[in-house]
Amino acid sequence: MNMGFLDFLNANVRLVFVQSQIRRTERDFRLRDKLKELFATFRKTSPAGWEKWMASKDHGLGSLGEMRNVMICCDFLDPKEIVKIERT
């Protein structure tokens, strides 16, 4: 199986989303913090790639729409942050 960077991110976001629907543990928060660091690096090093990923809908959670909606549901992004990013 050949997994790319975005596939890796999508799989981890799906994992956090499912875990948040079931229960939250200390490990969930540690994983979320590590992923937040990875997302910050991704956004900083590849702004165009980050925006393209935020607008994508091929994350496996189709009912939530764009990835930015999934990120808000998983507490990776604050809705106010999305508005601020889109205004710049």
**Residue 73 to residue 88: CA distance in whole angstroms:** 23
Helix, strand and coil percent figures for the chain, each rounded to 5 = 75, 0, 25
Q: Is residue 1's pLDDT more than 80?
A: no
Q: Is residue 86's pLDDT more than 60?
A: no
Do 82 and 70 contact (CB within 8 A), yes or no?
A: no
CA within 13 Å, CB half, 21: 8
Q: Is residue 43's pLDDT more than 80?
A: yes
Compute the mean pLDDT over every residue in the chain, rounded to the nearest whole number: 79
What digits encode the pLDDT tens for the residues 12-31? 888 888 887 777 666 667 88
Domain residue ranges of the chain, discontinuous segments joined by +: 5-87
In terms of pLDDT, which residue wins out, 45 or 21?
Answer: 45
| pTM check: above 0.85 | no
